[in-house]
């Protein structure tokens, strides 16, 4: 096999220091393989290292420095441990909480991380079994820990793994902490010099049900107890082979809701997610089994949590939709939940609404800001993704985080879980549906009321795989459109350079009369993505007529954007 100069020696050096016999054997077999494919694979695995960013460390699970494995988990944990001890003298006593999901490598990686932290003299609380990500966020606060670590496959491909760090307040690590940890990685000595405590170390302890009971008390209080009308509510639920199922079912019961119809084949955690399409909750077919179950039982709605419990999907009855149920978009559910949270706050004595902060990402629709303004609350934008939703309040000492959502179906309700939580959001949706049912209405009726008051808001996400993102974005910056679908571009905003509240991003937005388009490269994917929104005021028309007009405008805008990017 022909390898690039120095690559063989680099691989052999890594093998000699690796902490995993399985990974050593994997790399040794690749070295012995004379095929061009093996050479390309080695070149890819040793093309630098994984970088620790705002959402931690992420990559395919395999041997080598540019992959997720026990060696990279070891070095990352050592860097985090050093960073914690330098930053907070009491970090060793306060300790870290480590959680994991059901991905195939997560248990081994969590155990490896625990050994490294204990080897550095830091107390470790290891959450027993696979647990939802929001439970880890809660546990950091519950224990008063210095930090938390979550090992999860998240929404990535089945072979991916993610190492995410939470700060002592239970929220995801904020800049510049990620950059500090990445810098600490470059300063580490040889891998064999990193101390690793045995699994029986007195610094490592297992935790589980006591913390789960406290978590359930918290989310039930945040969402509110079920009204009496909940007794007649019928819903279907699936955890999609993830780790949220057991805790979600306990939450539904404790919250006062009847037992749901559960998709039995998707209830138990399974790292291979055999009956779920790859991708996120919005992927076509993700809810097919739950919808089929709901149709047989004439359910009022369908709930689904993703594999690590941080996200939520909801479907409502719709005779015109395939299967008889239509999945709400992230923007629709974000508007419903935002209105729910702000409505509850407005009814509480002593709450100053002008101090309440609601957050959505820069590509989300504009209905939530209007709901916030009508309630007297504040709205701000956050970067794409769910990493900085809760952190938006950090920049505003006079504000209190109340609610936030992202384009990826992540919803965070202000409370004791400072992260996106599909279980807590699910409880809030059930309460909304039960309240609507008590007056002979549905969840769809509740959303209709929001659009009747603030206008029809239709959003869509379009993706074009294989586009050369650099070329497309360069062309748009030098020769952007003066109009789209026959409407003038009122304002073009280039997010390169950032602002005091939004970091620099390779994105451009175009404002049109009653419409908006945001374009940028997809994160980690070789494609261009566009987020579209059309707003149509009801203005004396029926809601159905306004929606028909909005659908026609959105379709014309979709074709115009396709021409622009094609």
Residue 466 pLDDT level (bands cut at 50, 70, 90): low
Count the Cβ atoms, other than its own, within 10 Å of residue 207. 18
The residue-averaged pLDDT of 221-225 equals: 95
213-327: CATH superfamily: Alpha-D-Glucose-1,6-Bisphosphate, subunit A, domain 3 (3.40.120.10)
Tell me whether domains 48-207 and 331-452 share a fold. Answer: yes
pTM for the whole thing? 0.95
Query: Which distant-in-sequence residues (6+ apart) come within 8 Å of 384 by Cβ?
Result: 361, 362, 363, 406, 407, 505, 507, 520, 523
Residue 525 pLDDT level (bands cut at 50, 70, 90): low
Compute the distance between CA of residue 27 and CA of residue 551 in angstroms, rounded to an integer.
54
In angstroms, the Cα distances linking 359 to 187, 388, 514, 543 are 37, 10, 21, 27
Per residue in 91-128, pLDDT tens? 999 999 999 999 889 999 999 999 999 999 999 999 99
CATH architecture of 331-452: 3-Layer(aba) Sandwich (3.40)
Q: Identify the three-state secondary structure at position 349.
A: coil
CA nearest to 323, candidates 369, 282, 356, 291: 291
- The token duo for 430 is 């059930």
Per-domain residue ranges of the chain? 48-207, 213-327, 331-452, 455-565
Per residue in 174-185, pLDDT tens? 889 999 999 999
Per residue in 32-65, pLDDT tens? 999 999 999 999 999 999 999 988 999 999 999 9
Beta strands in 505-552 (DSSP E): 508-512, 515-521, 527-536
Residue 400 pLDDT level (bands cut at 50, 70, 90): very high
- The token duo for 176 is 């510049």
Compute the distance between CA of residue 32 and CA of residue 367 in angstroms, rounded to an integer.
58
Higher pLDDT, 432 or 208: 432
Cis peptide before 176 (omega within 30 of 0): yes
Compute the distance between CA of residue 266 and CA of residue 261 in angstroms, rounded to an integer.
12
In angstroms, the Cα distances linking 443 to 315, 334, 360, 402, 435 are 10, 13, 21, 21, 9
Count the Cβ atoms, other than its own, within 10 Å of residue 320. 6
pLDDT at 465: 78
Q: Which CATH number fits domain 48-207: 3.65.10.10, 3.40.120.10, 3.40.50.970, 3.40.190.10?
A: 3.40.120.10
Residue 360 pLDDT level (bands cut at 50, 70, 90): very high
CA nearest to 408, candidates 384, 427, 431: 384
Torsion sign, CA atoms 123, 127, 131, 132: negative
Q: What is the dihedral of CA 96, 101, 106, 110, to 10 degrees?
A: 10
pLDDT at 89: 85
Q: Is the pLDDT of residue 278 over 60?
A: no
Residue 157 pLDDT level (bands cut at 50, 70, 90): low
378-382, strands of its sheet edge to edge: 378-382, 356-361, 400-405, 411-413
- DSSP annotation of 384 reads S
Q: Is the pLDDT of residue 519 over 70?
A: yes
The residue-averaged pLDDT of 518-539 equals: 89
pLDDT at 411: 98
Compute the distance between CA of residue 237 and CA of residue 261 in angstroms, rounded to an integer.
6
Instruction: Map 459-483 to HEC letters.
Output: EEEEEEECCCHHHHHHHHHHCCCCE
371 backbone dihedrals φ, ψ, rounded to 5° = -65, -40
Q: What is the mean pLDDT of the chain?
A: 94
Compute the distance between CA of residue 344 and CA of residue 537 in angstroms, rounded to an integer.
27
Q: What percent of the chain has pLDDT over 70?
A: 97
Q: Could you tell me the end-to-end alpha-carbon distance of the chain, in angstroms, rounded to an integer?
A: 41
- The token duo for 426 is 């699910």
pLDDT at 470: 80
Residue 156 pLDDT level (bands cut at 50, 70, 90): low
Count the Cβ atoms, other than its own, within 10 Å of residue 448. 16
Q: Which CATH number fits domain 455-565: 1.10.10, 3.90.550, 3.30.310, 1.25.40?
A: 3.30.310
Per residue in 362-382, pLDDT tens? 999 999 999 999 999 999 999
Torsion sign, CA atoms 292, 295, 299, 301: positive
User: Of the ranges 192-196, 248-252, 271-275, 509-513, which one carries the lowest mean pLDDT score?
Assistant: 271-275
pLDDT at 380: 96
Q: Is the pLDDT of residue 509 over 90?
A: yes
User: Of the ranges 155-169, 225-239, 452-466, which one carries the lowest mean pLDDT score?
Assistant: 155-169
């Amino acid at each position: 096999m022909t390898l690039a100069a120095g690559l063989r020696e680099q691989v052999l050096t890594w093998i000699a220091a690796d902490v995993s016999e399985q990974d050593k054997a994997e790399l040794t077999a690749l070295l012995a393989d004379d095929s061009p494919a093996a050479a390309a694979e080695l070149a890819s695995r040793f093309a630098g290292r994984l970088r620790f960013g705002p959402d931690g460390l992420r990559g395919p699970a395999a041997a080598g420095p540019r992959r997720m494995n026990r060696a990279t988990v070891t070095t990352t944990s050592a860097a985090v441990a050093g960073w914690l001890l330098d930053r907070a003298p009491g970090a060793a006593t306060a300790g870290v909480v480590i959680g994991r999901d059901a991905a195939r490598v997560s248990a081994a990686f969590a155990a490896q991380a625990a050994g490294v932290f204990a080897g550095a003299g830091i107390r470790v609380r290891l959450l027993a079994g696979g647990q939802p990500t929001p439970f880890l966020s809660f546990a950091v606060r519950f224990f008063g820990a210095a930090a938390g670590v979550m090992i999860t496959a998240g929404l990535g491909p089945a072979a991916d793994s993610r190492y995410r760090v939470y700060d002592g307040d239970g929220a995801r690590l904020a800049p510049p902490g990620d950059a500090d940890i990445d810098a600490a990685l470059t300063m580490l000595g040889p891998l064999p010099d990193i101390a690793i405590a045995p699994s029986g170390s007195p610094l490592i302890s297992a935790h589980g049900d006591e913390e789960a009971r406290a978590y359930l008390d918290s989310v039930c209080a945040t969402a509110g107890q079920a009204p009496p009308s909940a007794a007649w509510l019928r819903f279907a639920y699936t955890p999609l082979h993830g780790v949220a199922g057991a805790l979600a079912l306990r939450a539904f019961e404790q919250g006062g809701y009847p037992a749901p119809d559960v998709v039995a084949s998707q209830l138990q955690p399974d790292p291979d997610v055999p009956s779920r399409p790859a991708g996120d909750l919005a992927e076509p077919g993700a809810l097919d089994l739950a919808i089929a179950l709901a149709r047989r039982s004439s359910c009022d709605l369908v709930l689904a949590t993703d594999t690590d419990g941080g996200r939520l999907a909801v479907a409502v009855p719709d005779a015109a939709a395939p299967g008889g149920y239509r999945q709400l978009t992230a923007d629709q559910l974000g508007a419903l939940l935002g209105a729910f949270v702000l409505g509850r706050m407005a009814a509480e004595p002593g709450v100053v609404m002008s101090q309440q902060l609601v957050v959505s990402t820069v590509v989300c629709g504009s209905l939530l800001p209007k709901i916030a303004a009508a309630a007297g609350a504040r709205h701000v934008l956050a970067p794409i993704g769910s990493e900085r939703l809760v952190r938006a309040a950090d920049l505003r000492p006079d504000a209190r985080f109340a609610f936030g959502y992202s384009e990826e179906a992540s919803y965070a309700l202000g409370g004791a879980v400072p992260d996106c939580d599909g279980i807590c959001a699910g409880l809030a949706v059930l309460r909304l549906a039960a309240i609507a049912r008590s007056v002979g209405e549905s969840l769809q009726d509740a959303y209709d009321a929001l659009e009747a008051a603030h206008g029809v808001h239709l959003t869509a996400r379009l993706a074009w795989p294989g586009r050369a993102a650099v070329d497309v974005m360069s062309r748009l910056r030098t020769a952007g459109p003066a109009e789209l679908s026959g409407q003038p571009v009122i304002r073009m905003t280039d997010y390169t350079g950032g602002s005091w509240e939004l970091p620099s991003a390779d994105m451009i937005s175009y404002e049109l009369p009653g419409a908006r388009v945001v374009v940028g490269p997809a994160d980690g994917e070789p494609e261009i993505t566009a987020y579209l929104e059309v707003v149509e005021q009801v203005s004396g028309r029926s809601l159905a007529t306004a929606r028909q007009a909005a659908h026609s405008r959105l379709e014309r805008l979709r074709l115009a954007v396709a021409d622009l990017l094609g």
